[in-house]
Amino acid sequence: MNILKKYQLITMIKKWKEFNEVNGNEWPGGGPGWPDTVYPNTLDDSDTNIKLCPVDDVMYTQDDYQDLYMDYLKLGEPPLHGFTTANLNTVVIKLGETKQDS
């Protein structure tokens, strides 16, 4: 056997003996000094285009809100920005007040 090949074989055997299997502790995020990984497991208002209005306990889609919002603007009310639960509550309350007045 050639001396170079014998040396390569010996170094390969040494490297194999020093090889440490990965058991999960070596992966990033698993040791001290790493922050905890948090996975959100709940939905919030930004995850859906359907909102529950607590004023009248009705679920509104974005299209339903747009119809109500147009009626709201026809009353001369100031414009609102975005399809949020707070804006939905404002629109429903204002339209409810006008229905009671008539």
Span 60-77, pLDDT tens digits: 999 999 999 999 999 999
pTM: 0.56
Q: Average pLDDT for residues 1-11, to the nearest whole number?
A: 75
Percent of the chain topping pLDDT 90: 35
Which of 26-30, 34-38, 49-53 has the least mean pLDDT? 26-30
- Residue 60 has a CB neighbour count (10 Å cut-off) of 21
Give me the residue spans of the domains in the chain.
46-101
Residue closest to 86 by CA, chosen among 70, 100, 65: 65
**pLDDT value at 29 more than 70:** no
DSSP secondary structure code for residue 38 in this structure: -
Give the CA distances from residue 28 to residues 20, 21, 22, 25, in Å, rounded to whole numbers and listed in that order.
Answer: 16, 15, 12, 8
The reported pLDDT for the residue numbered 24 is 56
